[in-house]
Structure 1
Amino acid sequence: MPASKFLSDKFCAVRAKRERRKEARPGELLDAALDLFVEKGFAATKSEEVAARAGVSKGTLFLYFPSKEELFKAVISENLAGRFDDWNARFAAFQGGTPEMLRECMNIWWDHIGSTKVSGITKLMLSEGRNFPELARFYREQFVSPAHVLLRRVLQRGIDRGEFAPVDVDQAVYTVVAPMVFLMLNKHSADVCGTADAPLDPKRFLDLQTDFILAGLAAKPAQGRAS
């Protein structure tokens, strides 16, 4: 192979690799940011640490995300808020009973959020949200509110179909959310709620909590009139 052709091919390969690298940088930065925010918290994480973990300069980080606050919002949008279009479509097309829908909803949450490092964002917001009200507002608007809307739809579907007893749907949502929040806090708090003789099994715990919730929501059979 002529030397000129070899050098030309090598140059093209290097350039293509750099272009692919440039396109991948936003995703790599978001992955690095998620890791560090979960490990250290928002306040303790420095922008240069995120850039270093992603293998880019601080200037490159700010090219994509002008501030640490914007970076954190992008992490929320990418890992939490971006899931709702798919989830809403999935449950809109659901053909089974509402108890099965609610169970699937909680299992999907565990598989895609609760069991992953993304769940650390909730612990971070609970511990630091008061100090960063703008980020707390963004988290509520982009994740908490859409989650509540989805859960209210599920609960109201059960009531409308006679599968669930009439309940205060707005408050019942918190009953569904509570075991999820507990698991996220425990996962990112060195499993402080578990014990050696009875270790916490998150999946079994969530299944049991779902059983309790469904038993409480179950529509009661009509009582016959006394003769």
Structure 2
Amino acid sequence: MENEKAPRGPKFRRRADARPDEVLDAALELFIANGFAATRVEDVARRAGLSKGAVYLYFASKEALLEGLVRRAVTPIATQALEQLGHFEGDPRIAISATLRMVATKLVDPKLIAIPRLIMREVVQFPELAIMYRNEVLNHVLPVAERLIARGIAQGYLRPVDPELTVRSIVGPIALHLILAEVFQLVPEDGLAMDRLLENHLSILFDGMSLPGGSK
């Protein structure tokens, strides 16, 4: 009898270890379908097949659920971007291109892109979500990117520009692309087309819009 019961321990532990992700998956589905305001913790618990009390064992509030989604999906991308930008030596355009391509590749994942979409959709009603996203992501990545630009200027790779405003110019078109799609439902015919947008953006960013050889 003891041999028959032995496998149940590891199986149960694997199940318990998976529960936070199951709760987050359920929360994401409901946040997308019903919005953040209309979703209750008991709805998330029901979707995850757990009791409301079991959800609170992992997440103290509905806001903590959204924070957990950001940390699970977006924070790893921010960490990877920090590694690429913060430790890079040489022409910063190489690091910028690699990082933006990495982000564009990740944003193809529906579960990942759903997070910034959700923030944009709910931020007016829940400004604390913007503060959380800023603290978890933007406050870490933007200063590193600014230092990369400043280092590129000092080393002669870039002409003198304002590092802070240049970073905004780099990420701005991507943010606007998402806003146009999410808020105004203006989407290219072939979908979000992040890869095409990115290559077009990099071409304009590094080469400009003027024809070679002068202006007309």
TM-score in terms of structure 2 length? 0.82
Matches within 5 A, 1:26-175: 26-112=20-106, 114-116=107-109, 117-175=111-169
| Residue 82 of structure 1: how far off its partner (Å) | 4.0
Give the residue type in structure 2 aligned to 1:33.
Answer: A
Q: 1:57 to 1:146 in 2, by over 3 A?
A: same
Between stretches 140-149 and 40-49, larger displacement belongs to 40-49
Gaps of 5+ in 1: 217-227
CA contact 1:29–1:54 (8 Å) conserved in 2:
yes
My pick for the range that moved more, 126-135 or 184-193, is 184-193
- Cα RMSD of the aligned pairs, angstroms, is 2.5
Q: Which SS does the other structure have where 1:131 is aligned?
A: coil
Q: CA separation in 1, counterparts of 2:180 and 2:188?
A: 8
Higher mean alpha-carbon deviation, 147-156 vs 70-79, is at 147-156
2:12 to 18, 25, 28: 18
Contact residue 86 and residue 148 of structure 2 kept, 8 A: no
TM-score (structure 1 length as normaliser): 0.79
Q: In the alignment, is the contact (CA less than 8 A) between 2:150 and 2:163 conserved in 1?
A: yes
Residues matched between the structures, number: 207
Separation of aligned partners in 1, 2:35 and 2:196: 29
Correspondence for 2:195 among 181, 188, 203: 203
Q: Take 1:152 and 1:115, find their aligned partners in 2: how far apart are those partners?
A: 26
Deviation string, structure 1 residues 121-146 (Cα, Å, up to 9, x no partner): 22222232122122221111111222
Assess, with a 3 A threshold, how the Cα gap between structure 1 residues 11 and 81 changes in structure 2: closer, same or farther. same
The runs of 5 or more residues in structure 2 that have no matched partner are: 209-216
Cα pair distance change 1:191/1:12, threshold 3 Å: farther
Cα contact 1:32–1:53 (8 A) shared by 2? yes
Structure (1 or 2) with the larger CA radius of gyration: 1
Q: CA deviation at 1:209?
A: 0.5
Letter in 2 for 1:209: H
1:119/1:184 contact within 8 Å kept: no
Contact persistence 1:51–1:57 (CA under 8 A): yes
The Cα of 1:20 is off from its aligned counterpart by: 1.3
Q: How does 1:186-197 map to 2 (within 5 A)?
A: 188=182, 192-195=186-189
Displacement of 1:43 in angstroms is: 1.3
Identity score, percent: 30
